[in-house]
Amino acid sequence: MTQAQNGKTFRNYIGGQWLDASNGAATPNLNPANTQRTLGTFPSATRADAQNAIQAAHDAFAAWSRTPMPKRGEILHRAANWMDARLDEIGEALTREEGKTFAEARGEVARGVSILRYFAGQCMEPTGDVYPSASASTLLFAERVPLGVVGLITPWNFPAAIPAWKMAPALAYGNTVVFKPAEITPLTAWYIVSAFEQAGLPPGVLNLVVGRGSQAGQELVENPKVKAISFTGSNEVGTRIAATVAQRGGKTQLELGGKNPIVILNDADIARAVELTVQGAMLSTGQKCTATSRAIVVRELAKDYGEALAARVKQLRVGDGMQSDVYMGPLVSADAEKTVLEYIAVGKNEGARLVTGGEKLRGDEYDSGFFVAPTVFDKVTSDMRIAQEEIFGPVVGVIEAKDIDDAITLANHTRFGLSASVVTRDLNLALRFMREIEAGIVHVNSMTAGAEPQVPFGGFKDSSSGTREQGKAAREFFTQWKTV
Ligand code: NAD
């Protein structure tokens, strides 16, 4: 696939047609493991392109919203099957444009398939409730109906799963969609939209605009024909979008950053705690909203855990994610690499101790990509910037706690509340952690990352705003009640 696509030109998908950007602007899609390899050229959609896409979605809404739900479900099933038959191909595209390992990328595409199948199944579920009425001659019911045109704005770090978990419920519940993926991962987006095209989705129901947030994205945010925006990305962008959409009476759902803790209590199995920390912090190069970025360990275990963690992290093989022995790929872009290296410098200046990593990797294998060594700091205190701000890279800070009370207080000492994990063999301590931790997703003896399509996904505090994504909770956002 990849070599063949080197010189290929990709387009926006508007009203069922593949179109160049209206001003002809296009950008090469770079492989972060080796920027000399490109994955084709993608349009830089303008505001006018986004307006055309919104109009196409607007025009398609009446027919799509009247299409029987089971028929919509059949299209979702066919799109899932199309993707399922191409797991390797799409997984490879994802690795080459985003950098995560092929095993993770393929797993993410498979998760996208499961999400489509889950919402295809939801198309056979009841769409409302019948109520008793005070009047003998009244049939009183309330039905969930679609919103209209919805805008989906997504980040680069899960370019298959996040679009799938927004698009599947949006379409299943009868909305039409304009999808604006992150401009640096458009190839995976192209595959997902192609899956729906091949599945027979009518023209205009799903539209793709590839381009910068400040252009195509901003048009979606400001255009009154777009009734709702489902956004996943940074807090900075998300909160600005929510303010703009609120001013025009639209609806938003925001999934934002995290600063997720793994808490290691004094009865924990140290080897397991280390493995879960490494998986949570270093898989996907730490670029998950649910990545582990703080390891909070009770004092009795701190020394043994710290030594074992450093030893394990030093063994990790870093390289091009297409190589089967690689554990961790590159960061996604030059900007991401710069930010991570800046945070490493901040950590050192704040007085945290660099245990391992902390530098850009050099040498033939690394010089054309964005590789930073997996990094561990200890002697981190909770008020440091590296313990408070989202780094979004392969950096974990170890914080010592006096006991479980202190550990939970430290874990909650952040503006974020997306996910959290506890490592313990004591069921009572696990239950206490579950009750007291301020996080939307809680793991016991598993890493901070990981979710399944049938359960609600989202965070507390500054990590989310609006109703939850995935599972039955997704219906809240993509429908409104009509009482009859
Ligand atoms: P980002 O905020 O820079 O970009 C996200 C999307 O918004 C991109 O498509 C971008 O083009 C678009 N955008 C930017 N400016 C815009 C504007 N003015 N109007 C409309 N759209 C605009 O985020 P990113 O760097 O792509 O992703 C990383 C962030 O995403 C991290 O903070 C991470 O924690 C977060 N994230 C959260 C979750 C979650 O579920 N909570 C999941 C994954 C990622």
155 CA from centroid of ligand 1 (Å) = 4
Please indicate whether residue 258, judged by its CB atom, sits closer than 6 Å to ligand 1. Answer: yes
Q: Is the pLDDT of residue 5 over 80?
A: no
Closest atom of ligand 1 relative to the 158 alpha carbon: 43
Please indicate whether residue 92, judged by its CB atom, sits closer than 6 Å to ligand 1. Answer: no
Tens of pLDDT along 77-116? Answer: 999 999 999 999 999 999 999 999 999 999 999 999 999 9
In this prediction, residue 206 carries a pLDDT of 99
Q: How far apart are CA 260 and CA 457, in angstroms?
A: 15
Closest atom of ligand 1 relative to the 257 alpha carbon: 34
Q: Is the pLDDT of residue 35 over 70?
A: yes
In this prediction, residue 3 carries a pLDDT of 40
Q: Is the pLDDT of residue 6 over 80?
A: no
Could you give the percent of the chain with pLDDT greater than 70?
A: 99
Please indicate whether residue 183, judged by its CB atom, sits closer than 6 Å to ligand 1. Answer: yes
Tell me whether residue 289 is one of the annotated catalytic residues.
yes
Could you give the percent of the chain with pLDDT greater than 90?
A: 98
Confidence of residue 187 (pLDDT cuts 50, 70, 90): very high
Confidence of residue 429 (pLDDT cuts 50, 70, 90): very high
List Cα–Cα distances, 122 to 54, 70, 129, 261, 308, in angstroms: 26, 9, 16, 33, 45
Closest atom of ligand 1 relative to the 418 alpha carbon: 41
Q: Is the pLDDT of residue 265 over 60?
A: yes
Please indicate whether residue 335, judged by its CB atom, sits closer than 6 Å to ligand 1. Answer: no
Tell me whether residue 123 is one of the annotated catalytic residues.
no
Instruction: For residues 443-461, give the mean pLDDT.
Output: 97
Please indicate whether residue 214, judged by its CB atom, sits closer than 6 Å to ligand 1. Answer: yes
Residue nearest (by alpha carbon) to ligand 1 atom 18: 214
Closest atom of ligand 1 relative to the 180 alpha carbon: 9
Q: Is the pLDDT of residue 232 over 50?
A: yes
Q: Is the pLDDT of residue 297 over 50?
A: yes
Please indicate whether residue 234, judged by its CB atom, sits closer than 6 Å to ligand 1. Answer: yes
Catalytic option among 98, 219, 289, 400: 289
247 CA from centroid of ligand 1 (Å) = 21
In this prediction, residue 78 carries a pLDDT of 98
In this prediction, residue 7 carries a pLDDT of 66
List Cα–Cα distances, 185 to 1, 36, 352, 406, 464, in angstroms: 16, 16, 34, 41, 23
In this prediction, residue 205 carries a pLDDT of 99
46 CA from centroid of ligand 1 (Å) = 19
Tens of pLDDT along 130-163? Answer: 999 999 999 999 999 999 999 999 999 999 999 9
Instruction: For residues 447-461, give the mean pLDDT.
Output: 96
Please indicate whether residue 157, judged by its CB atom, sits closer than 6 Å to ligand 1. Answer: yes
In this prediction, residue 31 carries a pLDDT of 97
Please indicate whether residue 241, judged by its CB atom, sits closer than 6 Å to ligand 1. Answer: yes
Report the chain's mean pLDDT, rounded to a whole number: 97
Instruction: For residues 287-294, give the mean pLDDT.
Output: 98
Instruction: For residues 62-70, give the mean pLDDT.
Output: 98
Pocket test for ligand 1, best of 157, 239, 337, 448 (most atoms within 8 A of CB): 157
In this prediction, residue 370 carries a pLDDT of 98
The 3-class SS string of the chain reads CHHHHCCCECCEEECCEEECCCCCCEEEEEECCEEEEEEEEEECCCHHHHHHHHHHHHHHHHHHHHCCHHHHHHHHHHHHHHHHCCHHHHHHHHHHHHCCCHHHHHHHHHHHHHHHHHHHHHCCCCCEEEECCCCCCCCEEEEEEECCEEEEECCCCCCCHHHHHHHHHHHHCCCEEEEECCCCCHHHHHHHHHHHHHCCCCCCCEEECCCCHHHHHHHHHHCCCEEEEEEECCHHHHHHHHHHHHHCCCEEEEECCCCEEEEECCCCCHHHHHHHHHHHHHHHHHCCCCCEEEEEEEHHHHHHHHHHHHHHHHHCCECCCCCCCCCECCCCCHHHHHHHHHHHHHHHHHCCEEEECCCECCCCCCCCCCCECCEEEECCCCCCHHHHCCCCCCEEEEEEECCHHHHHHHHHCCCEECEEEEECCCHHHHHHHHHHCCCCEEEECCCCCCCCCCCCECCEECCEECCCECCCCHHHHHEEEEEC
In this prediction, residue 4 carries a pLDDT of 39
Beta bridge partners of 211: none
Tens of pLDDT along 314-336? Answer: 999 999 999 999 999 999 999 99
Q: Is the pLDDT of residue 270 over 70?
A: yes
Confidence of residue 1 (pLDDT cuts 50, 70, 90): very low
223 CA from centroid of ligand 1 (Å) = 19
Please indicate whether residue 41, judged by its CB atom, sits closer than 6 Å to ligand 1. Answer: no
Q: Is the pLDDT of residue 293 over 70?
A: yes
Pocket test for ligand 1, best of 150, 183, 234, 414 (most atoms within 8 A of CB): 234
